[in-house]
Amino acid sequence: MKQYILKRLLLIVLTLFGLITIIFVISRVAPGDPARLAAGPDATEEMVEVLRKEFGLDKPLIVQYIDYIRGLVTGNLGRSLRTRHLVLDDLIQFFPATFELTVFSLLLAVALGIPLGVLCAVYRDRFLDHSARVFSVSGVALPMFWLALMLQLFLALKFDFLPVGGRLGMLTEAPRSITHLYLIDSVVTGNWSVFKDALRHIMLPAFVLSFPALASIIRVNRAEMLEVLNKDYIVNARAHGISKVRITGHYALKNALIPTTTMIGLRYGWMLGGTILVETVFDWPGTGLYAVQGAVFSDFQPIMGVALLVGLNFMLANLIIDLIYGVLDPRVRYE
């Protein structure tokens, strides 16, 4: 087991290394002069040269690559050309917002998706089942950013039900930082008005972000449930007069949960990708928005930092899910 984890971690490091190399190669074959942007519109050639030197952009590509890798080993992710902030500092600052949003969305998707999936299976071919089916089919086809805009339009702009964007209200002061997750920090510090404010702000983006995941969780759960419900032992149990609720809740659900669990790791990664769109619409100060701003300004190091962070998260999540899977399904062995 320990060996298995070590092996997986090593693989993650190697994959990240490959990821860096690939992005590096692609990024540096591209033309363009990011130093000029950072220097400002009126900068003289001399001033642009100062920046180029400072950021090592005057060195050959291979040297830049080695410098970057060397920096990574010491925990230095480079510096944004545009803002001159350390990328690591920025990521530490912006990632909690993204993490909070993603995890909340995931919980939302699971909390709504599993019961709905079960209900669909139990009430197969009834109204609920059909509407859930339409919902889950359309869930993946809906452009996330458009759904976000439409919800903003109706729930926030037309009817003043939820805030349009941001993490907190204009004058709400962020709770004392413990985890940097506002929802948790506000509870820990007992600051309920902030909690409510944070909850109101996270609702719309989280719903939009969870939408595709919700669709597939319902679908998978329904299919699994149907399969399990037709298994001999369930039929047997029913013949023995065990109540339907107990059968559904206890025996069937437990088995149906396994495939859902495996999906969650994948979904977490997809959601991190989705934050790029959702954070843009909802002005959510996280790494997605940060990456978009980097891309628009051809600011290379921040995008690279976000790519690494997301890749790492994605792979770690999958590792954790694989381990949990082993607990849920005793037949799995790690080699």
Partner 1 sequence: MKSRLWKLMLVALIGGILIFSGTAQALEVRDGKKILVFGGRQPAPNIDPSQYYDWSTRMLQQSLYDALLKYVESPPKIVPWLAEKWEVSPDAKVWTFHLVKNAKFHNGDPVTAEAVKFSFDRTLSIKKGPAWMLLDVLDPSGIKVIDDYTIQFTLSKPYAPFVAVLPWWYIMNPKVVKAHEKGNDQGQEWMKDGDAGSGPFKKKRWEHGVLYEMEAVADYWRGWENPNHPDGIIYRLIRESSSQRIAIQKGQCDIVEGLSPEDYDVVAKYPGIYVTNDPGLTTFGVKMSNQKGYTKDVNIRKAISYAFDYDSLIKIYNGNAILEDSPFPIGLKGHVPTDIYRQDLKKAKEYMEKAGHPDGGFELEYVYVQGLEEERKIGLVLIDNLSKLGIKVKMVPLTWPNMVARGSKAETSPDMMAVFVTPIFNDPDVVAYQYHKGSWGKYYGSAHYNNADVWELTDKARTISNWEERAKIYEKIQQVIKDDAPEIFGMQYNRRWAFRDHVKGFVFCPMRFTGEVDLYPLYIEK
Partner 2 sequence: MGERNATTEAQPVGALGAWAQWKEEHESLFRDIRLSFYLFSKSPLSVIGMVIVGIFFLITLAGPLIVPFPEDATGAVHMAQKLRYPGSGFWFGTDEMGRDIFTRVILGTRISLRIGLIIVGVAMGIGVPLGITAGFVGGWLNEVIMRITDIFLSIPGLVLALAIIGALGPGITNSMIALSLVWWPGYVRLVQGKTLSLKEESFIEAARSVGASKARIIFFHILPNCTSPIIVKASMDMGMAILAAAGLGFIGVGAQPPSPEWGAMISIARNYLPNWWWYAMFPGLAIFITVLGFNLLGDGLRDILDPQSRGYYRE
Q: Which is nearer to partner 2, 197 or 224 (CB)?
A: 224
11-19, 41-49, 209-217, 321-329 -> range binding partner 1 (CB under 8 A) = 41-49
**Selected binder of partner 1 within 70, 85, 130, 250 (CB under 8 A):** 85
Expressed in angstroms, the distance from the first to the final Cα of the chain is 7
Is 237 an interacting residue with respect to partner 1 (CB under 8 A)? no
Burial state string for 34-71 with b = 16 or more CB within 10 A and e = fewer than 16: bbbbbbeeebeeeebeebbeebebeeeeeebbeebeeb
**What secondary structure does DSSP assign to 124-181, as a single string?**
TTSHHHHHHHHHHHHHTTS-HHHHHHHHIIIIIIISTTS-SSSSS-SSPPPPPPSSS-
The pattern of x and - marking residues 113 through 152 that bind partner 1 according to CB under 8 A reads ------x--------------------------------x
**Selected binder of partner 1 within 10, 17, 33, 176 (CB under 8 A):** 33
**Selected binder of partner 2 within 1, 3, 26, 42 (CB under 8 A):** 26
d(CA 75, CA 71): 6
How many binding residues for partner 1 (CB under 8 A)? 57
**Selected binder of partner 2 within 37, 47, 307, 324 (CB under 8 A):** 307
Give the three-class secondary structure for 83: coil
**Selected binder of partner 1 within 165, 265, 269, 288 (CB under 8 A):** 165
Q: Which is nearer to partner 1, 229 or 315 (CB)?
A: 229
**Selected binder of partner 1 within 189, 297, 324, 325 (CB under 8 A):** 297
d(CA 128, CA 315): 36
C-alpha closest to that of 269 among 309, 305, 229, 297: 309
Q: Which is nearer to partner 1, 194 or 228 (CB)?
A: 194
